[in-house]
Amino acid sequence: MGTLTLTARRVESIDLLRGIVMIIMALDHVRDYFHADAFIYSPTDLTRTSAVLFFTRLITHYCAPVFVFLAGVSAHLYGVKRGRKELTYFLLTRGLWLVFVECIILSLERTFNPMFHFFNLQVIWAIGISMIVLSALIWMDRRVILLIGVILMAGHNLLDTVHVPGTGLPSFLWALLHEPGNFTFGRWTFEVHYPLLPWIGIMASGYCLGSLYAPGYDRDRRKLKLVSFGIGAIAVFILLRSGNFYGDAAHWSTQKNALFSFLSFLNVTKYPPSLLYILLTLGPAMLFLALAEHPLNAWTARISVYGRVPMFYYLAHILLIHILATIGAVISGYAWSDMVLNARVMESPGLKGYGFNLLTVYIVWISVVLILYPFCKRFDRYKRANQAAKWWLSYL
């Protein structure tokens, strides 16, 4: 009976899965900055989208929940090596750092506007706050943590009918917890894309699943549990979705043909992540973890590089995409200053008519991933060689 295979004290299957979602994540961000249709309609609008565009968006749905879930797993592994007290300090300080990264560094990268008029609270913000909350939760019994995680993931849709009207502070606070919104306070605009309740639940659940990767845990038993959890999640998704029983405010319905009816069935809500969205994404992720636990080959080793330096890659790819989009805008006849933004790029009035076809989006996406590989590989080597001596590397 096998035990966990480690390389440099890392779990290879987790790095591989994280690397895959980091690569796919760039596709969605390139689409935001390059695709002409992104400025006109949502890729999941079944009255206007195509199947290719829909699946281009759907595949990127897996990124955020898997990223947050694996952050919880990694937190557990960190605690196993360092102890609960040190884990508490790390989660608290790294959580605060990630909030700063989202609001300052990423805001500047996304907008190129040093006046900081616009703050888009997205996945890094959600991870940061979830880590801060988890820093307190880890002192509870693991069964209690899991219960809290399941309640937040499965129960938050009960709040879908609760609304706090207006654009004032009470509505903003409710948006931070459950209902996305756009708020302006003086010269600052905050767009809440990632309400916190379900994301905290996803990270807490990932933390509990991290116990399957404890040193000496039987590999076959771990695989059996991951397969059971994965199949179970997919089965519950199909059951709840089939009759629109519970778990997503956006019900599926019969469309103009069988293909689009199937797209409607898969068209789950990300903001906030509905229970069905979570089941649809984390179920296959757990199956992947079960099946991927074997030595890396030449290709998967390269993909894992991105998974070992996720924060470095995330910051670098947003910056690179915006730089390339600025070049694309100039080539298209716009001023470079049109890419200095006060809102999300697809909502910028100065870029009306800008954009490229979906094939160009895919070409730029592949180029971004390939351009960043040597930088990620070099940073990965530096990080592994110096992490023990340089504490700050744990925050990247």
SS3 47: coil
What is the extent of the structural domain holding 51? Answer: 6-395
C-alpha 295/C-alpha 172 separation (Å) is 47
AA identity, residue 346: M
Beta strands, E only, the chain = 6-7, 10-11, 118-121, 181-185, 188-192
On the 0-12 / 13-18 / 19+ scale of CB atoms within 10 A, 196 is: buried
- pLDDT at residue number 122: 96
DSSP code for 342: S
SS3 234: helix
Within a domain: residue 1?
no
Q: How many CB atoms lie within 10 A of CB 173?
A: 11
Count of structural domains within the chain: 1
Within a domain: residue 178?
yes
Q: Which residues contact 63 (CB under 8 A, 6 or more apart)?
A: 21, 22, 24, 25, 28, 123
* DSSP per position, 251-317: -----SSHHHHHHHHH---TTTT-HHHHHHHHHHHHHHHHH--S---HHHHHHHHHHHSHHHHHHHH
DSSP code for 35: B
On the 0-12 / 13-18 / 19+ scale of CB atoms within 10 A, 370 is: exposed
Closest C-alpha to 13, from 5, 3, 23: 5
Query: Is 98 within 8 Å of 128 (Cβ atoms)?
Result: yes
SS3 194: coil
How many CA atoms are closer than 13 Å to the CA of 209, on its beta-carbon side? 31
Cis, bond preceding 295 (omega within 30 deg of 0):
no
Reported pTM: 0.95
CA distances from 47 to 50, 51, 266, 270, 359 (A): 9, 11, 15, 19, 21
Within a domain: residue 234?
yes
Handedness of CA 244, 250, 255, 258 (dihedral sign): negative
Q: What are phi and psi of 349, to 5 degrees?
A: -65, -30
- pLDDT tens sequence for the chain (396 residues): 333 444 435 789 999 999 999 999 999 999 999 999 999 999 999 999 999 999 999 999 999 999 999 999 999 999 999 999 999 999 999 999 999 999 999 999 999 999 999 999 999 999 999 999 999 999 999 999 999 999 999 999 999 999 999 989 999 999 999 999 999 999 999 999 999 999 999 999 999 999 999 888 999 999 999 999 999 999 999 999 999 999 999 999 999 999 999 999 999 999 999 999 999 999 999 999 999 998 999 999 999 999 999 999 999 999 999 999 999 999 999 999 999 999 999 999 899 999 999 999 999 999 999 999 999 999 999 999 998 788 888 888
C-alpha 269/C-alpha 277 separation (Å) is 6
